[in-house]
Amino acid sequence: MSPIASYRRLFDLAGPGYVLVAFVGRLPLAMSQMGTLLLVADTTGSYGAAGAAAGALAVANAAGAPAAGALSDRVGQRPVVLVQSLAGGGGLLVLVALAVAGTPSPALLAAAAVAGLLLPQVGPLARVRWRPLTRHQGEQQPRLLETAFSYEGAADEASFVMGPALVGLLAVLASPALAVATAAVVLLGFGTAFALHPTAAVTHAHRPARLADGRVLTPVLGLLLLAQLLVGVLFGSVQAGTTVLTTLAGHAGLAGIVHATLGVGSVLAGLAVAGLPERFTVPSRVLAAATGLAVLSAPLLLVDTVGHLVLVVLALGFAVAPYMISVFVLGERAVPPSRVGAAMTLLAAVTGVGYALGSALAGRLADAHGHHAAFAVTVSATVGAALLALLAQPALRSVGRTTGP
């Protein structure tokens, strides 16, 4: 089956409107962190308070997502995502109201943390729906699942390009408050639609009968969590280094656009993963993509102009999605079917933790030694990912040979 035929078959199985609902439903999470940063900075005049509030939202979401994923495995996605969408949208609106009212920074930090805790991880939960949707496809199911994960990886990357861009546009045309309020309204509408979509009921209806079988934190999943942590460090450190270099060049406003090119290359590569031959196994793809990350990130240590940075970051993006897609495919196979929701949200959560670590470490080093020091964090993370992928090959192949538990 060709990649185009595979994508067409998947979209037929999911039903009309599902792809749009699942994609737009993940935008509020992508919008909320930058939106909170701009909102708090605008209303308090303090970048320190803004950074703390945005960080609180991100960390709280990373902490709460695995619990929500595990609960969705037990009671189904529909009630969990519905409550999260309504409560998370309300939480963002409360944050906007408090910020506009001039509430002190500690209260804004607490409100941002509560909102982050409630926001649903639509992307990881969307991945969980594909196995039951493809369960009657016979020999085509393994290929369709890989194609589905290729699409989801590209959709995640696209959302984290479009989300911040939409926030920036709304902030310029109107205000940061409108940008965050828009994220809340989108979540209330499309998050609810994602929760109520028929695919949610199908997923729960075909869950394994014995929910207690097996455990989430298998040795292989532990390796995959570390792999995702490292790619999160890559994201955070690239953003920090990009911000420093564009600021020094007198074009601070270009930082978001330059960083978005990482997602552009990643989206294109992610969609193309579906065309890889089956003999190119998923564990081998992890190793190849991790090696690509290490090689393509090395030029960051030499860039001194924004133009060169754009080219290097764009090229680096072409290895990001194949790496993450392969990690998530193996993550789905590494745990019992009854724990896939928890596994997917754990992988997404550690990516956010890695982002925070990478951004903080690269930012500190950049303050003392400039943008090259920030990018040294990126290169260290990618080299670590390549070494991990090489050493973990025997363990990854133990799950990579199967189409699922």
Range of the domain at 290: 215-405
* 192 plus 240 within the same structural domain: no
- Does residue 200 sit in the same domain as residue 229? no
Q: Which of these three, 207, 229, 249, is where a domain ends?
A: 207
Output the pLDDT for position 253.
62
Same domain, 182 and 231: no
Domain edge (last residue) among 207, 238, 270: 207
Length of the chain: 405
Asked whether residue 197 falls in the same domain as residue 224, the answer is: no
Whether residues 230 and 136 fall in one domain? no
Shared-domain flag, residues 280 and 194:
no
Ordered DSSP codes for 347-366? HHHHHHHHHHHHHHHHHHHH
The model carries a pTM of: 0.79
Residue 260: pLDDT band (50, 70, 90) is: confident
Q: Is a pLDDT exceeding 70 seen at residue 208?
A: no
Same-domain status, 162 and 60: yes
> Domain check: are 153 and 102 in the same one?
yes
Q: Are residues 188 and 238 in the same domain?
A: no
Are residues 83 and 201 in contact, defined by beta-carbon separation less than 8 angstroms? no
Domain shared by 203 and 219, yes or no: no
- Using CB atoms within 10 Å of the CB of residue 261, give its burial: 0 to 12 exposed, 13 to 18 middle, 19+ buried: buried
CA angle 172–122–333, rounded 5-degree value: 140
What CATH number does residue 103 fall under?
A: 1.20.1250.20
Q: Which of 207, 233, 259 is the last residue of a domain?
A: 207
Statement to judge: residues 221 and 203 lie in one domain: no
In whole numbers, what is the pLDDT of the chain averaged over residues?
86
Give yes or no for residue 16 having a pLDDT over 80.
no
Within the chain, how many helices (H) and strands (E) appear? 19, 0
Residues 308-355 pLDDT 10s = 999 999 999 999 989 998 998 898 888 887 788 888 888 988 988 888
Give the per-residue pLDDT at 405: 34
Task: Say how many domains are in the chain.
Answer: 2
Q: Are residues 275 and 353 in the same domain?
A: yes
